[in-house]
Chains A and B, each alone.
Chain A
Amino acid sequence: MDKREFSRRDLLRAGLAGAAAATAPASALASTETAASAAPQASSVAAMQARRPFETLSAAEADTLEAIVARLIPTDANGQGAAEAGAAHYIDRALGGALASSRQTYGAGLAAVESYARASKGAPFVSLSPADQDAILTEMERNAAPGFSPNSAAFFDLLRNHTIQGMFCDPYYGGNVNFAGWDLLGYPGVRTVVSADQQRMDIAPAPNHKSAYDYDMFLKASAKTISRRGVSDGD
């Protein structure tokens, strides 16, 4: 595991999700900074970053993407949405890795969203009201927005699928910050051993806020020798 991953996970553990800090009101930000001082390794990083850095997208592309995911899974009466969960950051990181083959599609697609926003509403997508942003996304979903290649519905589907991945994936991948997605679904979390009681319909298991990679046996960099035929203790 490289150092960058480590500091990101430490941030997550300390409740210092960058995306949350970026969109949170000042009072909430102040409280996260108090928490940061209790975690000296993370504090300097948190202080430097008003926004978690993007690794692959340009600043303008990232602005548009963050605004889109915030409408696809909004923050509302049912709690945190894709913004707090860091779905845009999940996509950004994945575009430099597992989803690299989609990088060009995002460049062209986000530019087309911007062009369509300016042409139809007279302003950049990020400056539009939520209702106008929703109108544009609806047109894209209906395959009625011009300027997309091959078409707007294909790009909308890609955005929706990746936003869902970013909201509900293992937090190791940079999304689902603070388990916002898993808590929304009532998903009780990753366990390595499950009891019969945890499969009954009348009892909801308590949420288990752990990443797969919080379990030492799956850390590939671990120097620990684990017998291939041995038996796991699980959790």
Chain B
Amino acid sequence: MATKLKETDVVIVGLGAAGGIAALPLVQAGLEVIGLEAGTWLTKRDFAPDELRNNFRGWPQAVQKANHEVPTHRPSASAPYSPRPAIHPMMNAVGGTTLHYWAQSWRLNPWDFKMVSETARRYGPGRIPKGSTVEDWPFGLEELEPYYDRVEYEIGVSGKAGNLGGKLDPAGNIFEGPRKREYPMPPLRGTGFTELMAGAARGLGWQPFPGPAAVNSQPYQNRSACAYHVFCNRGGCHVDAKSSTAVTTIPKAMETGRLTVVTRAHVTKLEADSEGRVSGVIYLVDGVEYFRPAKVVLLASYVYENVRLLLLSKSKPYPSGFSNRHGQVGKHYFSHNQGASVTALFPWNLSNWYGLPAQGVAVDNWADDNFDHARLDFLGGGNLWVYSDRRPIAAASMNTFGKAPSWGSAWKAFIKENADRWNTAYLQKTTLPYEDNYLDLDPTVKDPLGFPVCRITADYKENEHKLAAFIQDKMERWYKAAGAIATIRNPVGTMGPATHAYGGTRMGDNAETNVVDRWGFSHEAPNLGILGGSVMGTSGAHNPTLTLQALAWRTAEHLAQNWNSIAKLK
């Protein structure tokens, strides 16, 4: 029997990228907030520059709660299961995945919010691929702009504006939507290699620019500047220069005295009252069960766990899972088309031994609808991203481009010469939701408590494959223009557990096809808010974190401003 605790105003399930943001506007409005986090505090002492541990052994995710809950995957309902990855991409810790993420901190482009209507307007009817369930967002970029701005300044994002109030600046991304003001910090510095690539892009008539990063390019709010030491790719920052919520909004919220952080709290169920409102959450700490009643609950875990917790929380009002009377929980799921990268070999050393994945050069000419699709047989596009990032085990494990065997003296001679001469671009491409790509509970695989894990049924379709080939062509051209002597097109792969997962509790005005309304609150349980990538209905061609953080701030602000009605106070 769960120990019943005192009721609080708001419980946030998961203090990561989204929950860690939402806490701040709530406590600033005077609300009492309890953050339940499955992980612990990790500090810069934990973030050693250790490739083997971080990148090959997956510390600390390998030993965390989420790692017992790695989703299963099958490409379709009739296909066999894929091998289950050893490491869950998400992090359990205060700050969550913002501790070890790449910190690329993009806004979505205007088209991403209006894909359906803009496609019809520009290309006529019938262009949305068959079977896709994509919808326009319930609002446009202009609605989210103030929240993007707020989060960029609150946590600290480095970058160069390309569109200041409609005035384009080719030093930044000319394809971005209008922004009110510059980034709070200039972009991270370039390197010899990224400058070479930028020059080659200009030679092709493209517009290269430094990408935005939630990493300090200069000291910001008493945190130091980036040290460019290359170990924050799947590692945390050793100088607190990465703008994780663990070193920004969460400590700031705690200073008010109104945010209580409960670590090692393993949430197992959302409880419903007889009217179908959420009444609180059940959680375990070291095997002891608690019930924390709350006037409002914000579910802010990763996509897979948001969906799983809802589906596991069955009750009289919700016999098929919380907020799932319309059968929409788990639907409209997709993960970013991050495969189909390109690897290049150069005839000189690139000096990529230092840096970080967010220190790079971007090209958006082939992203979203920034180019004419009238004569093309796919929709969407990709962001081309080239960055400075190399560590020794991965360097030695390089592709030998068919020029050497995979071991022995000839291999050794090859890697001695070429370890610093190769580069793999990161190509993020539009992925659409489809009616037969979805999440549910696995019928057989369970976590150590006996609860089913999340099951992914999803695969890339024709649109994603055609787009991937188009983007690979562009990337090969760019590398060759910069002097590459060989390129390799890597496979698209399939849609197993992903670092960029979307949907499952999509946001939209129509309760028949969406789980949450335009403010992020459940269509069925008005005092349940949902935060994170699970509310996003399109991916765009850019990393999701800043967008889901802007959405989290907006949902929290809406809650604070409408407290009496949402919390149903008399």
CB within 8 Å of B: which residues of A? Answer: 71-74, 76-78, 81, 98, 134, 137, 141, 160-161, 164-165, 167-170, 172-173, 181-182, 184-188, 190-194, 196, 198-205, 212-213, 215, 217-218, 220, 222, 226, 228-229, 231-232, 234
Given contacts A168-B396, A187-B392, contact A194 B419 (CB under 8 A): no
For the complex, what is the distance from the CA of A172 to the CA of B57, rounded to whole Å?
Answer: 15
> Which of B45, B46, B393 contacts A168, CB < 8 Å?
B393
Whether A98 lies near B44 (C-beta < 8 A) is no
For the complex, what is the distance from the CA of A198 to the CA of B189, rounded to whole Å?
Answer: 12
For the complex, what is the distance from the CA of A215 to the CA of B229, rounded to whole Å?
Answer: 13
Whether A200 lies near B49 (C-beta < 8 A) is no
| B:408-425 near A, CB below 8 Å | 408-409, 412-413, 415-416, 419-420
Whether B348 lies near A181 (C-beta < 8 A) is no
Query: Within 8 Å CB of B396, what residues of A?
Result: 164, 167-168, 181, 185
Whether A188 lies near B353 (C-beta < 8 A) is yes
> Which of B52, B223, B419 contacts A165, CB < 8 Å?
B52
Whether A220 lies near B45 (C-beta < 8 A) is yes
Whether B407 lies near A73 (C-beta < 8 A) is yes
Of the four ranges (under 10, 10 to 19, 20 to 34, 35 or more), the interface on chain B belongs to 35 or more
> Which of A72, A172, A182, A217 contacts B45, CB < 8 Å?
A217
Stretch at the interface among B25-33, B96-104, B191-199: B191-199
Whether B412 lies near A184 (C-beta < 8 A) is yes
Question: In this assembly, does B228 line the interface, its C-beta being within 8 Å of a C-beta of chain A?
Answer: yes
B269 → chain A, closest Cβ, in Å? 32
> Which of A160, A182, A213 contacts B406, CB < 8 Å?
A160
| B:12-65 near A, CB below 8 Å | 41, 43-52, 56-57
> Which of B44, B196, B354, B416 contacts A198, CB < 8 Å?
B354
For the complex, what is the distance from the CA of A98 to the CA of B397, rounded to whole Å?
Answer: 20
Count A/B pairs, Cβ under 8 Å.
160
Nearest A residue to B196 by beta-carbon distance?
A201
What are 18 A-B contacts with C-beta separation under 8 Å?
A71-B407, A72-B407, A78-B416, A137-B407, A168-B393, A173-B52, A185-B420, A186-B416, A187-B353, A192-B238, A192-B239, A198-B354, A199-B388, A217-B45, A226-B44, A231-B224, A232-B227, A234-B229
Given contacts A196-B189, A199-B191, A201-B351, contact A78 B412 (CB under 8 A): yes
Given contacts A185-B395, A204-B351, A234-B227, contact A228 B191 (CB under 8 A): no
Nearest A residue to B224 by beta-carbon distance?
A231
> Which of A71, A164, A172, A200 contacts B397, CB < 8 Å?
A164
> Which of B192, B227, B407, B420 contacts A200, CB < 8 Å?
B192
Nearest A residue to B222 by beta-carbon distance?
A229
Query: Within 8 Å CB of A72, what residues of B?
Result: 407-408
Given contacts A182-B392, A199-B355, A217-B44, contact A212 B50 (CB under 8 A): yes
Question: In this assembly, does B270 line the interface, its C-beta being within 8 Å of a C-beta of chain A?
Answer: no
Whether B408 lies near A74 (C-beta < 8 A) is yes
With A188-B353, A228-B44 known, 7 other A-B pairs at CB within 8 A are A170-B51, A190-B231, A191-B354, A192-B227, A204-B349, A218-B48, A226-B43
Query: Within 8 Å CB of B348, what residues of A?
Result: 201
Question: In this assembly, does B350 line the interface, its C-beta being within 8 Å of a C-beta of chain A?
Answer: yes
A75 → chain B, closest Cβ, in Å? 9
For the complex, what is the distance from the CA of A226 to the CA of B46, rounded to whole Å?
Answer: 11
A15 → chain B, closest Cβ, in Å? 20
Whether A168 lies near B392 (C-beta < 8 A) is yes
Closest 4 CB pairs of A and B: A201-B192, A218-B48, A199-B191, A185-B419
* Binary flags per residue of B401-443, CB closer than 8 Å to A gives 1, else 0: 0000011110011011001100000000000000000000000
A17 → chain B, closest Cβ, in Å? 18
For the complex, what is the distance from the CA of A193 to the CA of B225, rounded to whole Å?
Answer: 10
Question: In this assembly, does B69 line the interface, its C-beta being within 8 Å of a C-beta of chain A?
Answer: no
Question: In this assembly, does B247 line the interface, its C-beta being within 8 Å of a C-beta of chain A?
Answer: yes
For the complex, what is the distance from the CA of A215 to the CA of B43, rounded to whole Å?
Answer: 15
Query: Within 8 Å CB of A199, what residues of B?
Result: 189, 191-193, 228, 351, 354-355, 388
For the complex, what is the distance from the CA of A171 to the CA of B407, rounded to whole Å?
Answer: 22
Query: Within 8 Å CB of A161, what residues of B?
Result: 397
Nearest A residue to B246 by beta-carbon distance?
A228
CB within 8 Å of A: which residues of B? Answer: 41, 43-52, 56-57, 189, 191-193, 196, 222-224, 227-231, 238-240, 247, 251, 348-351, 353-355, 388, 392-393, 395-397, 406-409, 412-413, 415-416, 419-420
Nearest B residue to A199 by beta-carbon distance?
B191
Nearest B residue to A167 by beta-carbon distance?
B396
For the complex, what is the distance from the CA of A165 to the CA of B247, rounded to whole Å?
Answer: 33
Whether A201 lies near B349 (C-beta < 8 A) is yes
Whether B56 lies near A184 (C-beta < 8 A) is no
Nearest A residue to B239 by beta-carbon distance?
A232
A149 → chain B, closest Cβ, in Å? 18
Given contacts A169-B51, A186-B419, A201-B193, contact A194 B354 (CB under 8 A): yes
Query: Within 8 Å CB of A198, what residues of B?
Result: 351, 354
Whether B192 lies near A187 (C-beta < 8 A) is no
Given contacts A76-B409, A201-B350, contact A212 B49 (CB under 8 A): yes
Nearest A residue to B420 by beta-carbon distance?
A186
For the complex, what is the distance from the CA of A215 to the CA of B231, rounded to whole Å?
Answer: 14
A206 → chain B, closest Cβ, in Å? 12
Whether B239 lies near A231 (C-beta < 8 A) is yes
Given contacts A185-B416, A194-B229, A199-B351, contact A98 B392 (CB under 8 A): no
Whether A202 lies near B192 (C-beta < 8 A) is yes
Query: Within 8 Å CB of A204, what residues of B?
Result: 349, 351
B245 → chain A, closest Cβ, in Å? 14
Query: Within 8 Å CB of A76, what residues of B?
Result: 409, 412
Given contacts A185-B396, A193-B227, A199-B355, contact A213 B48 (CB under 8 A): yes
For the complex, what is the distance from the CA of A46 to the CA of B189, rounded to whole Å?
Answer: 48
Given contacts A218-B45, A229-B240, A231-B224, contact A200 B351 (CB under 8 A): yes
Most buried by A among B46, B406, B409, B419: B409
Query: Within 8 Å CB of B51, what residues of A?
Result: 169-170
Query: Within 8 Å CB of A98, what residues of B?
Result: 57
Whether A217 lies near B238 (C-beta < 8 A) is yes
> Which of B193, B247, B412 contacts A229, CB < 8 Å?
B247
B240 → chain A, closest Cβ, in Å? 7
A1 → chain B, closest Cβ, in Å? 13
Query: Within 8 Å CB of A190, what residues of B?
Result: 49, 229, 231
Nearest A residue to B397 by beta-carbon distance?
A164
Query: Within 8 Å CB of B350, what residues of A?
Result: 201
For the complex, what is the distance from the CA of A222 to the CA of B46, rounded to whole Å?
Answer: 12
For the complex, what is the distance from the CA of A76 to the CA of B415, rounded to whole Å?
Answer: 14
